[in-house]
Structure 1
Amino acid sequence: MGQSPVERGTVGRGPKVQRAVHAATLAELAEKGYAALTVDGVARRAGVHKTTVYRRWKDRESLVVDALAEHFARDIPAPDTGSVETDLLVLARALVDSMTGPVGTALLTAMYSDAGRLQEVAEARRRVFQDRYQRAEPVVTRAVERGELPEGTDALELFRALAAPIYFRLLVTDEPVGEAAADQSVAVVLTAARAGVLVRHHNGPAR
């Protein structure tokens, strides 16, 4: 008996399968949206059997969470240019590029539609934000060590202040978001940080 097209097109095992399934998941998400995404569709696009997908991911939600977390971890750099300003410019511009691309647009649609109420989608949102914060933290630590920012500058608050204007444009006012918006966010957050507004005091929040 001959092999089916899917069987003939299988991609092997291990990391190669994971990469193929992740890529197929993101392509399906960008093309069809979260609501129409199915494990069957992902498997067909990846060239693997559906059972291969289910051996690694228990359901559609866990597959999407994993693929998104891996994608954004790779998509947003952890810069070390020697200057806090250029580090933050790299971060902010990468954030804009990431969130205005096909995958970022699909993620925003999923997170802020009815699908956003699902626990798994909320988990994807949390993991994406946590990864971005972890990439911003050493930028702030090095800047404090170099004397570019005040001692005690709160990396989490700095990242929130950096990202907030970008997400406001994307989600609230639906304005165009490009490099100029990223650069403006950096200028604003650096002014606030250098003035000590983002310093954490006595283990409490930044004032």
Structure 2
Amino acid sequence: MQNKRPRPGGRSERIRKAVAQAVLQLIRDHGIDFEIQEVSRLSGVGRATVFRRWPDRASLIGEALSEHVSGFSVTLKGEWPDDLLRMTRDFREFMRDPVELAMNRALLLTNNNAFRDQMSDYWKPIIELFQKPLRDAIDRGEIDPGVDVEIVIVAISEVLVMESLFENFGEVDISERLVSQLVRGCPPANRE
């Protein structure tokens, strides 16, 4: 008897991607208040399949968020100021994606705690990715261990979220100025 396992890139993966893309399109076009039937119609996946695998809107949004965040990656070179600048620039572009804009606007306007929790979980891998070059620099002794890595990352993400939500927020690209200021606030380790 053959062991049946989902194949990477097989039918299950095509269905997952079609549904995730449909949800992302609905979020982009209409926000988080959509019907599961709309997902079925837009994805071309039968309603029974959608309901069986994603029984509610929250699970559909979770799938879509996972798919969306998988599109953000950065190659780190091991030079923390350059890595931080590269990540900030790439994240700035990611924040301007229409789906990302719609999700962030929905987050600001919603009273839906489940969606807020999902968005928090969604952001975790991005925050961890941003923390890596700073934590590595601390481990190498390039930055003082007293630097609050979380606050540095919150400063970057908050400025970029605000900039993305308000089109005329500031300069054409504030990434370099922002990172330069934050680098100045991360003193080298005290080597006595």
Q: TM-score, length-normalised on structure 1?
A: 0.76
The structure whose RCO (Cα within 8 Å, separation 6+) is larger is 2
Matches within 5 A, 1:78-117: 78-113=74-109, 116-117=110-111
Residue 179 of structure 1 and its aligned partner are, at CA, apart by: 6.4
1:68 matches 2:65? yes
Q: Distance in 2 between matches of 1:68 and 1:117?
A: 18
1:34 lines up with 2:32 in the alignment: yes
Structure 2 CA distance for aligned equivalents of residues 24 and 87 of structure 1: 33
CA distance 1:125–1:44, change in 2 (3 Å) = same
Structure 1 unaligned segments of length 5 or more: list them.
Answer: 1-11, 197-207
Q: How far 1:177 sits from its partner (Å)? A: 6.3
Q: Which of 137, 159, 162 is 1:165 aligned to?
A: 159
The 1:15/1:179 distance shift into structure 2, 3 A limit, reads farther
Amino acid at match of 1:39: I
Q: How many positions carry a matched residue from both structures? A: 181
Q: Which amino acid aligns with 1:38?
A: E
Residue identity (%): 24
Contact 1:96-1:178 within 8 A present in 2 as well: no
**Equivalent residue number for residue 126 of structure 1:** 120
Residue 173 of structure 2, aligned match among 180, 187, 198: 180
State the Cα distance separating 1:59 from its structure 2 match: 0.7
**Structure 1 residue 183, shift from structure 2 partner:** 2.1
Aligned structure 1 segments of 4 or more residues deviating by more than 4 angstroms: 176-179
- Partner of residue 77, structure 1: 73
Q: Deviations over 1:103-154 (max 9, x none)?
A: 11110121111xx211221022211221221112221122223333212433
State the secondary structure of the residue aligned to 2:174.
Answer: helix
**Does the CA-based 8 Å contact 1:92-1:162 persist in structure 2?**
yes
Q: Hey, what does 1:193 align to over in structure 2?
A: 186
1:148 matched to which residue of 2?
Answer: 142
Check conservation: 1:39, 1:60, Cα contact below 8 A: yes
Q: Where does structure 2 lack aligned partners over 5 or more consecutive residues?
A: 1-9
Contact 1:25 1:67 in 2 (8 A): yes
RMSD value, Cα: 2.4
Contact 2:54 2:60 in 1 (8 A): yes
Which amino acid in structure 2 is aligned with residue 193 of structure 1?
A: C
Distance 2:61 2:80 in 1: 33
